[in-house]
Amino acid sequence: MTIGSAGSSIVVPRNFRLLEELERGEKGIGDGTVSYGMDDGDDIYMRSWTGTIIGPHNTVHEGRIYQLKLFCDKDYPEKPPSVRFHTRIKMTCVNHETGVVDSKKFGMLANWQRDFTMENILMQLKKEMTASHNRKLVQPPEGTYF
């Protein structure tokens, strides 16, 4: 996020940015089908996060709860976090053996911009579940993990 006007901008430091994201994640997002928060409140570097997506209606994902791990390295938000599903899922952008979201197959990570957030990633993954190439894929048994 940059703040400023006509030619001048201030780059928000990493920790301030992550604190904003944490506050937003704790308040709840949109319709409540996506959430996220820190794994360890004592991690002063705010690196390890857990995200949750409730599967969208009218897809094979409906009613399922997917847990993800997001890792914001020291260069976040300049570079995207690493994103990995903990709950087993079958999607074209997810490695079927590790659960890692493949940045080459997931546009938001491939075309990362500094003002994108973890919330944006989770919302886009949820949207990707509704895409024609993902909405009907046979899923692993519910309650299985990578």
Q: pLDDT digits over 56-88, tens only? A: 999 999 999 999 999 999 999 999 999 999 999
Give yes or no for a cis peptide into 77 (omega within 30° of 0).
yes
d(CA 46, CA 18): 7
Of 33, 37, 55, nearest to 46 by C-alpha is 37
| Domain hosting residue 26, numbered range | 2-129
pLDDT band at residue 8 under the 50/70/90 scheme: low
What sign does the CA torsion over 91, 95, 99, 102 have? negative
d(CA 56, CA 134): 11
Give tens-digit pLDDT for 9-40: 788 889 999 999 999 888 877 778 999 999 99
In a domain, 79, yes or no: yes
In a domain, 31, yes or no: yes
Contacts of residue 74, defined as CB under 8 A and 6 or more positions apart, other chains included, come to 14, 45
Backbone angles phi, psi at 37, to 5 degrees: -170, 170
C-beta neighbour count of 17 within 10 angstroms: 19
pLDDT of 31:
79
What is the value of pTM for the model shown? 0.90
In a domain, 39, yes or no: yes
In a domain, 138, yes or no: no
- In the DSSP assignment, the letter for residue 47 is -
d(CA 132, CA 13): 39
The CATH number given to whatever domain includes residue 9 is 3.10.110.10
In a domain, 26, yes or no: yes
In a domain, 136, yes or no: no
Q: Is the CB of residue 17 less than 8 Å from the CB of residue 24?
A: no
H helix or E strand, kind and range, residue 40:
none
Domains: count for the chain: 1
In a domain, 78, yes or no: yes
In a domain, 134, yes or no: no
